[in-house]
Amino acid sequence: MSPDAALRTSDFDYPLPQELIAQTPMEPRDQSRLLVLDMAAGAMQHHRFRDIVELLHPGDLLVFNDSRVIPARLRGRKAGSGGQVELLLLHPMEPRLWQALARPGKRLAAGAVLRFQGQGKEYSAEIESKSEGGVVTVRLEDEAMIEACGETPLPPYIHERLADPERYQTVYARVRGSAAAPTAGLHFTPELLQRLQSQGVAMAFVTLHVGLDTFRPVDEDDPREHSIHTEYAVLPPETAAAVNATRARGGRIVAVGTTSVRVLETAARGALDLRLSKGEGATAVAPYSGWTDVFILPGHRFRAVDAMITNFHLPRSTLLMLVSAFAGRERVLAAYVKAVRERYRFYSFGDAMWVG
Q: What percent of the chain has pLDDT over 70?
A: 94
Q: Is residue 28 part of a domain?
A: yes
Q: Where are the alpha helices (DSSP H) in the chain?
A: 144-149, 190-198, 237-249, 258-278, 318-327, 329-341
What pLDDT is stored for residue 87 in this prediction?
Answer: 96
Is the domain of 256 the same as that of 344? yes
Q: Per-residue pLDDT tens for 93-127?
A: 999 999 999 999 788 899 999 999 999 999 999 99
Is the domain of 112 the same as that of 199? no
Q: What is the mean pLDDT of residues 274-282?
A: 52
Is there a contact between 64 and 206 (Cβ–Cβ < 8 Å)? yes
User: Is residue 173 over pLDDT 70?
Assistant: yes
For residue 283, report the phi and psi dihedrals to the nearest 5 degrees: -115, 155
DSSP-derived pairing of the beta strands 113-118 and 73-78: antiparallel
User: In whole angstroms, what is the distance from residue 91 CA to residue 330 CA?
Assistant: 35
Q: Is residue 2 part of a domain?
A: no
How many domains does the structure of the chain reveal?
2
Q: What is the mean pLDDT of residues 53-75?
A: 97
CATH number, domain at 103? Answer: 2.40.10.240
Q: What is the mean pLDDT of residues 40-69?
A: 96
Is the domain of 183 the same as that of 294? yes
Q: What is the mean pLDDT of residues 48-57?
A: 98
Instruction: Choose between 209 and 2: higher pLDDT.
Output: 209
Is the domain of 116 the same as that of 221? no
What pLDDT is stored for residue 4 in this prediction?
Answer: 46
What pLDDT is stored for residue 207 in this prediction?
Answer: 98
Q: Is residue 316 part of a domain?
A: yes
Q: Does residue 90 sit in helix, strand or coil? A: strand
Tally of CB atoms within 10 A around 3:
9
- Domain stops at, among 125, 149, 173: 149
Is the domain of 169 the same as that of 256? yes
What pLDDT is stored for residue 168 in this prediction?
Answer: 97
Q: Is residue 157 part of a domain?
A: no
Is the domain of 207 the same as that of 64? yes
Q: Has this prediction a pTM greater than 0.85? A: yes
Q: Is residue 51 part of a domain?
A: yes
The domain containing residue 133 runs over which residues? 73-149
Is there a contact between 336 and 324 (Cβ–Cβ < 8 Å)? no
Q: What is the mean pLDDT of residues 163-168?
A: 94
Strand ranges of the sheet holding 307-311, from the earlier edge strand across to the other edge: 43-48, 33-38, 352-355, 307-311, 253-256, 61-65, 202-208, 231-235, 288-292
User: Is residue 215 over pLDDT 80?
Assistant: no
**DSSP letter string over 274-336?**
HHHHH-----S---EEEEE-----TT---SS-SEEEEEPPPTT-HHHHHHHHHH-HHHHHHHH
Q: Per-residue pLDDT tens for 302-320?
A: 999 999 999 999 999 999 9
